[in-house]
């Protein structure tokens, strides 16, 4: 018997599975082929100050210390580098915003996230920032493909990794365990992003997928920092940048669209006056939710099934903290944070599924 079957190996599945291994748990991970598209396309930004109004992101004081500590520890364990704390620069829209953030430098609520408040334009890039901007601390990007590769190599070495489609109908419930293709598990944890919508156990939850277009472009400079206001410019190797992203709540295709690419170009020209050449168009769909909060917890009827999902566009910063939260619940029986506990949607659960016993 093994302790856990982890379904999915995107950010959520990779982080949670490695934390479970640290706790001495026996696990298997099913990595469904070509199902990590959103993780591979995502820029992986982590940013404590977000939105048009430049507000501190939800739970930033708890999320960011946990995120930085967790990824840095995983880098050592996995002998890989994937956390890049290169910082983010956000231009101010006017002098009033500049003054507001200058005052926040001495405010304990914000000081830890402020590297510097610039009163003049940056020199590295021809940016539309006549009023200067905010240099953010505790910000940068996670190289998600590098994390997933390093994690899968570790799991393979432990004979705990399989790349195959998850066949939910093959699950059989025991008294307090689950059997899947002949192996007994204490719990099954769904970390499979939008695939959870198709689950007969968790498909009743209010997922609200959001599509995002991004572009790979080449420029004339080697940029060292991320620029972000309405759109991000993320430096890559060989003077390439990743530019994104759109947010489409209603979409017919998961493929990149000309409309999405044109939106990116329009926003890019408003932010930056540099010359970039389009090289590749990409798109992914984020597993967002109705209230923009993750969906974490135990199935209302069958305690062997858990969900760790719905992290949307902020998965890089959300996953580590809530992976520890779920781990504490699974091992010590602590309560899952009520803001993310899927029990908040119990009234939506009206059609119990029939599962073979």
Question: Can you give 211-255 as a three-state secondary structure string?
Answer: EEEEEEEECCCCCCCEEECCCEEEECCCCEEEEECCCECCCCCCC
pLDDT digits (tens, 9 = 90+) for 146-186: 999 999 999 999 999 999 999 999 999 988 999 999 999 99
Please give the domain boundaries of the chain with CATH numbers for all domains: 2-41+145-206+290-348 (3.50.50.60), 88-136 (no CATH), 210-286 (3.30.9.10)
With 60 as the cut, is the pLDDT of residue 38 above it? Answer: yes
Q: Tell me what pLDDT residue 23 has.
A: 96
Which residue matches tokens 């507000």? 55
- Tell me the longest C-alpha to C-alpha distance in the chain: 67
Rounded to an integer, the average pLDDT of 120-134 is: 94
Rounded to an integer, the average pLDDT of 337-348 is: 95
Q: Tell me what pLDDT residue 357 has.
A: 32
Measured CA to CA, the distance from residue 67 to residue 46 in angstroms comes to 9
Give the DSSP per-residue string, 129-167: -TT-EEEESS-EEE-HHHHHHHHHHHHHHTT-EE-S---
Containing 295, the helix (H) or strand (E) segment is strand 295-298
Rounded to an integer, the average pLDDT of 8-33 is: 95
Torsion of CA 36, 14, 61, 298, to 10 degrees: 90
């Amino acid at each position: 018997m093994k302790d856990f079957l982890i379904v999915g190996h995107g950010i959520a599945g990779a982080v949670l599975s490695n934390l479970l291994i640290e706790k001495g748990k026996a696990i298997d991970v099913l990595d469904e082929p070509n199902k990590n598209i959103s993780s591979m396309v995502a820029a992986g930004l982590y940013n404590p100050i977000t939105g048009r109004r430049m507000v501190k992101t939800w739970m930033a004081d708890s999320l960011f210390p946990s995120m930085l500590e967790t990824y840095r520890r995983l880098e050592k364990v996995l002998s890989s580098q994937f956390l890049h704390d290169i910082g983010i620069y956000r231009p101010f829209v006017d002098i009033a915003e500049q003054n507001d953030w200058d005052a926040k430098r001495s405010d304990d609520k914000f000081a830890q996230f402020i590297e510097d408040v610039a009163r003049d334009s940056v020199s590295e890039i021809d940016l539309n920032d006549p009023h200067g901007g905010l240099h953010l601390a505790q910000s940068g990007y996670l190289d998600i493909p590098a994390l997933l590769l390093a994690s899968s190599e570790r799991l393979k070495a432990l004979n705990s990794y399989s790349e195959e489609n998850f066949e939910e109908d093959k699950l059989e419930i025991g008294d307090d365990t689950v059997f899947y293709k002949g192996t007994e598990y204490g719990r099954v944890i769904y970390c499979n992003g939008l695939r959870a919508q198709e689950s007969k156990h968790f498909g009743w939850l209010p997922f609200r997928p959001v599509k995002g277009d991004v572009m790979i472009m080449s420029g004339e400079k080697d940029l060292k920092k991320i620029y972000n206001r309405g759109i991000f410019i993320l430096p890559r190797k060989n003077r390439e940048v990743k530019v994104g992203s759109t947010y489409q709540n209603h979409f017919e295709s998961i493929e990149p669209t000309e409309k999405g690419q044109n939106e990116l170009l329009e926003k890019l020209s408003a932010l930056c006056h540099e010359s970039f050449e389009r090289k590749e168009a990409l798109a992914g769909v984020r597993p967002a939710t109705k209230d923009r909060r993750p969906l974490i917890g135990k199935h209302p009827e069958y305690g062997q099934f858990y969900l760790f999902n719905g992290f949307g566009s902020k998965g890089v910063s959300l996953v580590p903290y809530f992976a520890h939260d779920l781990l504490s619940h699974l091992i010590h029986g602590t309560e899952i944070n009520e803001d993310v506990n899927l029990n908040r949607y119990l009234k939506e659960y009206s059609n119990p599924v029939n599962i073979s016993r």
